[in-house]
Chain A
Amino acid sequence: MSVPDTVSSLTQDEVADAIRSLPPAGWARLLRVAQTYSCNRPIDPKDLLQEAFLRALGSRHCPRDVEIIRFLTEAMRSIAWDVVKEVRRRPPPLPLHDKSGALVIDPPDRRPTAEWQLASEQEAGRFKQAVISIFEDDVVAQVTVEGIMEGMEGAELQELTGLDVKGLATKRRMIRRRIDNTFPEGWKS
């Protein structure tokens, strides 16, 4: 673990104090972020948030000019991304018995194959299409979702959708609420 620079970063006690001083809405906001980042990922929202707390109190350093919620959000994002990378490296568990019921003595090669990685990508593709399909009654929302998925933001997204800054923010909120309502437990295959 590297030694934190306490001039530019919060000490671990300061991190703990900053988290403890969050208002009730701040705690609820953290859980919302965890639910969003754990969606379609093999990690429970509370596990994701707890892991972020552990890293915030340990290996990660919070710059003094970064709000504690932003800092924890970035930690959750990083953990959630790593979870997917790890799963891609590790194929699903093999059955202990073969089709005849006999114990598998010599299991096949466990290294991830291109097929396994493709299957993981196809699973993400199915979720992506499922998300897009819930906006079939709202063309602007659907175009906004697709634009965001393509990496558009700001002026580029406004140009694509024909919305101004406020209109885009309103549309994005509507999109989030509809996704939350449609997949309250996230997308689990």
Chain B
Amino acid sequence: MTGNKMSERSALDRLADALVEDILEMSDEELIEEIGDLQEVQRIATDTQSLFENSVIATGKARLAAAKTAVTANQLERSATVVALDPSAARRRIDRALASDPETQRKLTLAARKGEGLSDSDIQGMLEDLAELGVLPDDGGDVGA
């Protein structure tokens, strides 16, 4: 019955399954009796609960890291869209963005609103800021224009 040398691991796996089935079928009372006393069961429960709460924290951290990665990727994507514009297209886009968002327009200075006296890099920075704020409309074909 034990001759098949290439299935030794499988034999042990089947035994483990049967033993685990027994553990699952035991009543709580039988389990407590087997462990010894309720105090010891409580100690094991406290240790295992702590293990679980550590897992909850680790999962939360992993989700936070994933969310940060997604936000960074999103920002890079928006920046990439802005960077693709030439200076004159960028100025036209700023005009459209401000025209479509009076609230933002009010907050900017007159010069900034008209894009006068601003360098190309100022314009580029404004575009990136507006993209981050989510008030930048579609480029309307200005990319590469």
Instruction: Spell out A's residues near B (CB within 8 Å).
Output: 12, 16, 19-20, 22-33, 36-37, 39-40, 46, 49-50, 53-54, 57-58, 69-70, 73, 77, 80-81, 84, 120-122, 124-125, 127-129, 131-132, 145-151, 153, 169, 172-173, 175-177, 179
Instruction: Name 9 A/B residue pairs within 8 A (Cβ), A-sorted.
Output: A22-B45, A28-B31, A28-B41, A31-B44, A37-B16, A49-B48, A131-B12, A173-B26, A175-B19
A155 to chain B, nearest CB (A): 15
With CB as the reference atom, state the residue of chain A lying closest to B32: A25
A149 to chain B, nearest CB (A): 4
Residues of A within 8 A of B133 (CB): none
Partner of B15, one of A28, A31, A50, A145: A145
The size of the chain B interface, using a CB distance under 8 A, is 42
Is the CB of B116 closer than 8 A to any CB of chain A? no
Is the CB of B13 closer than 8 A to any CB of chain A? yes
B31 and A29 contacting across the interface, CB-CB below 8 Å: yes
A47 to chain B, nearest CB (A): 9
Residues of B within 8 A of A31 (CB): 44, 47-48
Residues of A within 8 A of B12 (CB): 40, 124, 127-128, 131, 149
Partner of B6, one of A58, A121, A172, A176: A121
Tell me the interface secondary structure of chain A in the complex. Answer: helix
Residues of B within 8 A of A173 (CB): 22, 26
Q: Which of B6-56 contact A (CB under 8 A)?
A: 6, 8-9, 11-20, 22-26, 28, 31-32, 34-35, 38, 41-42, 44-45, 47-49, 51-52, 54-56
Tell me the interface secondary structure of chain B in the complex. Answer: helix
Residues of A within 8 A of B41 (CB): 24-25, 28
Given contacts A28-B31, A50-B54, A172-B19, 16 further A-B contacts (CB under 8 A): A16-B56, A23-B28, A26-B45, A27-B44, A27-B45, A28-B35, A28-B44, A32-B31, A69-B24, A81-B13, A124-B11, A145-B15, A146-B2, A149-B1, A169-B25, A179-B19
With CB as the reference atom, state the residue of chain B lying closest to A152: B14
Residues of B within 8 A of A122 (CB): 5, 8
Is the CB of B59 closer than 8 A to any CB of chain A? yes
B51 and A176 contacting across the interface, CB-CB below 8 Å: no
A20 to chain B, nearest CB (A): 7
Residues of A within 8 A of B59 (CB): 12, 54, 57-58
Give A49 to B2 CA distance when docked, in angstroms: 31
